[in-house]
Amino acid sequence: MADNIPGDLKYTREHEWARVQGTSVVVGVTQHAQESLGDVVYVELPKVGSTVTEGKQFGVIESTKAVSELYSPLTGKVVKVNDGLSDNPSTVNTDPYGAGWIVEIEPSDPKQVDGLLDAAAYTALLQNS
């Protein structure tokens, strides 16, 4: 299956995506990430109000076989988490860019988003990996 990489999102080298939404940024994992993970069975989310740091772990995503770390694309405050994932973690597989979103972060500096990869750069990263 071809990798689905929406042009309006930003990306990290750890296969997270970021979507600017007003003053905050919604974060999830990419189609490529969910395919590599396999069936997602558990997502450990940060607490609303907690602080996350760019490049640092903020959560965990588990498939039947493996435990993978989630890294924050930005520094800021968690304003929302996707509570629906506790009952339906497989949403990360079925709709990674939509209902399978993971957290919403209010960045300490909105310009941070500009430092992330755009779709072309992320596509190139996948092709060269």
**Which residues, at least 6 apart from 89, have a Cβ–Cβ distance to it below 8 Å?**
40, 41, 42, 43
**Which residues, at least 6 apart from 83, have a Cβ–Cβ distance to it below 8 Å?**
45
Based on CB atoms, which residue is closest to another protein, 44 or 95?
Answer: 44
Q: Select from 3, 4, 6, 42 the one that contacts another protein (CB under 8 A).
A: 42
Binding residue count for another protein, defined by CB under 8 A: 12
Q: Are 77 and 50 in contact (CB under 8 A)?
A: yes
Q: Which of 5, 14, 9, 6 is nearest to 129 (CA)?
A: 14
Q: Select from 20, 41, 125, 126 the one that contacts another protein (CB under 8 A).
A: 41
Q: Which residues is 70 bridged to in the sheet?
A: 59
Please report whether residue 94 would count as binding another protein according to CB under 8 A.
no
Based on CB atoms, which residue is closest to another protein, 66 or 121?
Answer: 66
Site string for another protein, 53-92 (x = CB under 8 A): -------x-xxxx-x------------------x------
Please report whether residue 109 would count as binding another protein according to CB under 8 A.
no
Q: Are 70 and 102 in contact (CB under 8 A)?
A: yes
Selected range binding another protein among 33-41, 47-55, 73-81, 104-112, rule: CB under 8 A: 33-41
* Percent helix, strand and coil across the chain, each to the nearest 5: 25, 35, 40
Which positions touch another protein (CB under 8 A)? 38-39, 41-42, 44, 60, 62-65, 67, 86
